[in-house]
């Protein structure tokens, strides 16, 4: 019986153009628009890799520390942390590149690090900062080594780590890529909440006072709650697949970087989906009124919650979390984006699992209220 | 008794939709529940099915009280609701298969039942069609197929022929009689007296939430005073004619409707010749003339004072 109902509910839901539009196509379209808007913004505003030339001579080859630092600053695998786009050249060639405006600066070694810049600007400041910081760390390290030669091995390792930290800081500070990712977090949260359309639909087709199909199904010898639970399982399945497709689209096609903790990201999507689907069932069963009104409430509700978690205005999440922190815990969109945030920014999972717990609590609340409405089998009117 | 309903009373707020409604349906009957719009037919059916709450009364089906959890009873019932109850997203075959599958788990058995049901309503060529692509009549047939595919012993149809063309209507009516011959007990609600007269073995006439008369059509027609009804077109309708006609023997009532004179005779009396003689001797010019036996509408009219259909 489970497979019979499950299979047919999958068919019904996937063939519903309207629902598939809102749950699958709409988030993809919105994601594409976000992507276009932001890629525009970052090219105009600030953050792209700074093109520099490094003169590849003997002294440069000897300075392994600097080579390492430069490497991590220009590592394409570092994703958004990559600061420089480095060309290794001779000095003459570098100068002609600089004159032609193809690069922003030349780093070369001649009794120490030297820097040639043509004009002054943000990019030039960043190159200079990088060099200064390196020099400063190097002098600290050599001071330590002079005083305590045994620390040499250790000290060098630490200094190279601190370079990486600097780079992380620098990339976080230059902000554009990271806030962009936040918008995509809210997009996924919104898509999860749009799973509520499926939840709403399943209530409608199982409540005899809401649809004729339900009256027919209610007259069958299968317990109404069983039909309902199987239907909700189908609804959650489809929405999960939709979210999966959205994630693939964002990461594979649009190259949005959500970090590497794929298991936790999937866990967030599952929790978010189930919350979204039960939210729809909850609205469907407690709100009196036609299907149009209920769909209106779902769209408005999902949009508001996404807005409060920063979808249209990125400071919004911060404002809510500081001014009305309770709202943050009651807003599933906020909880979902918080999960992603915590995965990206924190090394511990305390915040992550707190958010997941609250999502589960919300799901339980929605399910309980839905159950109290659904369990009645006789109606005052049809 | 297949169904026994006693003193069923149901209100919607202040409106009393069913007022001490009583009904018994025996095995093998096609019971017609006939009543005008709003008389409470659908409400009665939904109460019997335990979909609606009611204030008072008892409902037994196959000798057991009907309740939402009475799954053994539900298994024997097939319903065809007044509103078409199919999924837009499923094809004709899939719709029937879905609902049939709620009763029958065995796949092979179900497949043959679904095909049989499609044959039965004449939809075999439409298995892959979506409901949107079906005409109104075909859609109603699908609605019926979804209700009967699992071969129920008791079939309840609530106005299955509303807004259906004559071809589909005949298909449906014949189908119901066929199901009955195969052993099903049928309850059929309608406000079309012709349909009810055509197929029902027993008729319950309903008005304002009450059963006002039951019996087969002969019994019902025997309950009323008037028999044959004669309608004559009179070019110069005058009150004098009315007075004269009323004084003819065996006349129950006479009235003008525009230029048409309607005369009702006593049961089993024939007044056609008498009336024509009268018109001829008085040299009253008349056109069309026709005579009809009494209908269920006359029965309804005589009991309630109003027409069955407005
Ligand atoms: N959900 C409801 N809420 C309030 N009143 C209702 C409701 N459903 C029906 N009624 C009223 O109850 C009475 C009986 O309605 P019902 O639908 O049972 O009649 P019916 O005989 O099936 O009519 P029809 O031939 O039009 O289908 C009507 O007066 C109707 O207006
Ligand atoms: Mg009705």
**Tens-place pLDDT, residues A170-218:** 333 333 345 678 888 889 999 999 999 999 999 999 999 999 999 999 9
CATH code, domain with B37: 3.40.50.300
Pair (B256, B281) in one structural domain: yes
Q: Tokens for A148, please give them.
A: 């305590």
Pair (B236, B110) in one structural domain: no
Pair (B135, B12) in one structural domain: yes
User: Is residue B187 situated within a structural domain?
Assistant: yes
pLDDT tens track for B65-118: 999 999 999 999 999 998 999 999 999 999 999 999 999 999 999 999 999 999
So where are chain A's domains?
A: 2-39+180-375, 49-161
| Ligand 1 atom nearest B206 alpha carbon | 21
User: Is residue B39 situated within a structural domain?
Assistant: yes
pLDDT band at B301 (very low <50, low <70, confident <90, very high): confident
- Report whether pLDDT(A262) > 50: yes
In this complex, is the C-beta atom of B71 within 8 Å of any C-beta atom belonging to chain A?
yes
**Is there a contact between A67 and A60 (Cβ–Cβ < 8 Å)?**
yes
User: Is residue B51 situated within a structural domain?
Assistant: yes
Q: Looking at ligand 1, which residue's alpha carbon is closest to its atom 14?
A: B40
Q: Cα separation of B156 and B30, whole Å?
A: 10
User: Beta-carbon neighbour count of residue A275 at 10 Å?
Assistant: 29
Domain with residues A49-161, CATH architecture: 3-Layer(aba) Sandwich (3.40)
Supply the mean pLDDT for chain A. 82
User: Is residue B302 situated within a structural domain?
Assistant: no
Q: Residue A327's pLDDT is what?
A: 82
Tell me how many domains chain B contains. 2
Which residue reads 């407690």 in tokens? A286
Which residue reads 């063939």 in tokens? A15
Residue of B nearest to A215 (CA): B51
Q: Residue A163's pLDDT is what?
A: 42
| Ligand 1 atom nearest B36 alpha carbon | 25
CA–CA min distance A218, chain B (Å) = 8
CATH code, domain with B276: 3.30.70.270
pLDDT tens track for B42-58: 999 999 999 999 999 99
Kindly state the DSSP code that residue A292 receives in the 8-state scheme: H
Residue of B nearest to A16 (CA): B89
- Window from A14-18, A293-297, B161-165 with minimum mean pLDDT: B161-165
pLDDT tens track for A362-381: 999 999 999 999 988 889 88
Which residue reads 């089998």 in tokens? A377
User: Is residue B196 situated within a structural domain?
Assistant: yes
pLDDT tens track for A145-162: 565 555 444 444 444 444
Q: Residue A152's pLDDT is what?
A: 46
Q: Residue A159's pLDDT is what?
A: 43
Pair (B70, B211) in one structural domain: yes
Start-to-end CA span in chain A (Å): 27
User: Is residue B301 situated within a structural domain?
Assistant: no
Q: Cα separation of A200 and A296, whole Å?
A: 12
Q: Residue B226 is inside which H or E element, if any? A: strand B226-234
Distance B24 CA to ligand 2 centre (A): 19
Closest CA to B98 of A242, A371, A234, A292: A234
Residues in chain B with CB shorter than 8 Å from the CB of A378 are 50-53, 68
Compute the average pLDDT of residues B284-297: 86
| CB–CB contact A219 B77 (8 Å) | yes
Burial of A233 (0-12, 13-18, 19+ CB in 10 A): middle
Entry pTM: 0.76
Q: Cα separation of B65 and B74, whole Å?
A: 12
- Report whether pLDDT(B144) > 60: yes
State yes or no: ipTM above 0.90: no
> B87: phi > 0 → left, psi -120 to 50 → alpha, else beta; which?
beta
For chain A, give the percent of residues with pLDDT over 70. 83
User: Is residue B136 situated within a structural domain?
Assistant: yes
For chain A, give the percent of residues with pLDDT over 90. 40
- Report whether pLDDT(A238) > 80: yes
Range of the domain at B111: 3-221
Pair (B7, B54) in one structural domain: yes
Q: Residue B292's pLDDT is what?
A: 83
Supply the mean pLDDT for chain B. 91
pLDDT band at A346 (very low <50, low <70, confident <90, very high): confident
Pair (B27, B124) in one structural domain: yes
Closest CA to B66 of B150, B154, B158, B157: B154
Q: Residue A162's pLDDT is what?
A: 43
Pair (B185, B230) in one structural domain: no
């Amino acid at each position: 019986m489970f497979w019979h109902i499950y299979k047919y509910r999958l068919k019904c839901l996937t063939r519903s153009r309207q629902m598939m539009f809102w749950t699958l196509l709409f988030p993809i379209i919105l994601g594409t628009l976000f992507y276009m808007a932001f890629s525009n913004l970052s090219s105009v505003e600030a953050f792209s890799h700074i093109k520099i030339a490094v003169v590849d001579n003997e002294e440069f080859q000897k300075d392994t520390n600097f080579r390492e630092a430069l490497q991590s600053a220009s590592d394409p695998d570092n994703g958004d942390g990559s600061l420089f786009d480095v060309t290794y050249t001779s000095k003459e060639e570098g100068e002609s590149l600089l004159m032609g405006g193809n690069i922003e600066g030349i780093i070369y070694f001649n009794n120490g690090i030297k820097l040639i810049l043509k004009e002054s600007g943000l990019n030039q400041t960043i190159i200079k900062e990088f060099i200064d910081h390196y020099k400063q760390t190097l002098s600290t390290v050599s001071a330590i080594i002079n005083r305590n030669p045994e620390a040499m091995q250790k000290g060098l390792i630490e200094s190279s780590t601190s370079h990486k930290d600097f780079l992380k800081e620098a990339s976080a500070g230059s902000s554009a890529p990271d806030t962009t990712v936040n918008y995509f977090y809210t997009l996924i949260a919104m898509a999860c909440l749009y799973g509520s359309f499926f939840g709403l639909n399943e209530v409608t087709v199982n409540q005899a006072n809401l649809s004729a199909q339900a009256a027919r199904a209610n007259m069958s010898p299968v317990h109404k709650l069983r039909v309902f639970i199987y239907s909700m399982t189908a609804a959650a399945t489809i929405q999960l697949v939709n979210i999966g497709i959205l994630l693939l689209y964002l990461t594979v096609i649009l190259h949005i970087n959500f970090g590497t903790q794929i298991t936790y990201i999937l866990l967030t999507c599952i929790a978010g989906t189930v919350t979204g689907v039960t939210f729809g069932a909850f609205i469907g069963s407690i709100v009196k009124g036609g299907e149009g009104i209920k769909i209106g409430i779902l769209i408005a509700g999902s949009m508001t919650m996404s807005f409060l978690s920063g979808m249209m205005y990125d400071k919004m999440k911060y404002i809510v979390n500081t001014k009305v922190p309770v709202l943050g815990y009651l807003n599933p969109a906020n909880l979902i984006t918080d999960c992603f945030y915590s995965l990206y920014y924190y090394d511990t999972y305390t915040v992550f699992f707190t958010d997941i717990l609250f999502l589960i609590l919300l799901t339980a609340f929605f399910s309980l209220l839905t159950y109290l409405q659904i369990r009645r089998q006789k109606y005052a009117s049809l | 008794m297949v169904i026994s309903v006693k003193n069923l009373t149901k209100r919607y707020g202040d409106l009393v939709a069913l007022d001490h409604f009583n009904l018994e349906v025996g095995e093998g009957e096609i019971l017609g529940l006939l009543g005008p719009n709003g008389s409470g037919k659908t409400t009665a059916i939904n109460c019997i099915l335990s979909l609606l709450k009611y204030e008072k009364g008892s409902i037994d089906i196959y000798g057991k009280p009907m309740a939402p959890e009475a799954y053994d009873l539900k298994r024997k019932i097939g319903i065809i609701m007044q509103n078409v109850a199919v999924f837009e997203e499923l094809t004709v075959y899939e719709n029937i298969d879905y609902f049939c599958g709620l009763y029958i788990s065995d796949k092979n058995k179900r497949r043959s039942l679904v095909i049989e049901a499609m044959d039965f309503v004449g939809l075999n060529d439409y298995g892959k069609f979506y409901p949107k692509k079906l005409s109104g009549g075909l859609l109603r047939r699908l609605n019926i197929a979804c209700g009967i595919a699992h071969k129920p012993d008791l079939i309840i149809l609530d106005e299955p022929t509303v807004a259906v063309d004559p071809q589909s209507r005949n298909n449906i009516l014949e189908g119901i009689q066929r199901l009955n011959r195969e052993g099903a007990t049928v309850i059929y609600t309608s406000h079309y007296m012709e349909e009810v007269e055509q197929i029902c073995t027993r008729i319950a006439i309903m008005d304002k939430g009450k059963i006002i008369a039951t019996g087969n059509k002969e019994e019902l027609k025997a309950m009323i005073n008037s028999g044959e009804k004669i309608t004559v077109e009179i070019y110069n309708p005058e009150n004098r004619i009315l007075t004269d006609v009323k004084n003819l023997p065996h006349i129950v009532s006479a009235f003008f409707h525009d230029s048409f004179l309607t005369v009702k005779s006593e049961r089993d009396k024939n007044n056609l010749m008498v009336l024509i003689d009268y018109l001829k001797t008085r040299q009253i010019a008349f056109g069309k003339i026709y005579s009809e036996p009494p209908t269920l509408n006359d029965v309804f009219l005589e009991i309630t004072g109003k027409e069955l259909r407005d």
